[in-house]
Structure 1
């Protein structure tokens, strides 16, 4: 599902949700967390993830901190105060969209 347009349109919301609990994560850690949560169904590529991280950082929703781990620089991402606010709004929008989509795809269930 790595080239799915639905994934591309949801990637920033996914990243914000993963960082919502106040933790900080680095890029590879984010890809592995998504893979674990989805039992391998969603595979994030670096080519999709890093532009999203950079965009969220440019929007002021993420802050970064670089640490050297085992001789290599590792860039950690964390939500800013504005990022927490944006996460709540985007999650609400995503939930409303999913409800509407479900009504369209499964009209007999509504």
Structure 2
């Protein structure tokens, strides 16, 4: 993943939101979607992705299933009911953090 610590701290939120938008995804698909959405600026590594996926699964926010595609077993992830609730909570936390950061750094657009 990009060396930006803000992104590292947001990885779970990014994963949850992607799964909310796409219902079910496999690991490589998640990395490619992040790359696409960021215009190539964020490269999500397996070393960052899979521990985050496993943690979300252990917390009960994700469930997995496997499917054979082109003679290969592919592991898919999807939100549980609790995971669906967590998306809103994580997005609210992210927005609050962004708002606080903008205020602290005086980055809010000026009203004229």
User: Same fold by TM (over 0.5)?
Assistant: yes
Contact kept, 8 Å, 1:22 with 1:79, in 2: the verdict is no
**Deviates most, 3-12 or 79-88:** 3-12
What 5-or-longer segments of structure 2 have no aligned partner?
Answer: none
Q: What TM-score comes out, normalization by structure 1 length? A: 0.93
Where structure 1 has 5 or more consecutive residues not aligned to the other structure, the ranges are: none
What are the within-5 Å matches in structure 2 for residues 1-110 of structure 1?
A: 2-21=2-21, 23-106=23-106, 109=109
Cα separation, partners in 2 of 1:41 and 1:87, compared to 1, 3 Å: same
The list of structure 1 runs, each at least 4 consecutive aligned residues, that deviate by more than 4 angstroms after superposition, is none
Let me know the Cα RMSD of the aligned residues: 1.5
* Gap change, CA 1:38 and 1:108, over 3 Å in 2: closer
Conserved in 2, the CA contact under 8 Å of 1:2 and 1:42? yes
CA contact (8 A) 1:24 1:77 kept: yes
Q: Distance in 1 between matches of 2:21 and 2:7?
A: 22
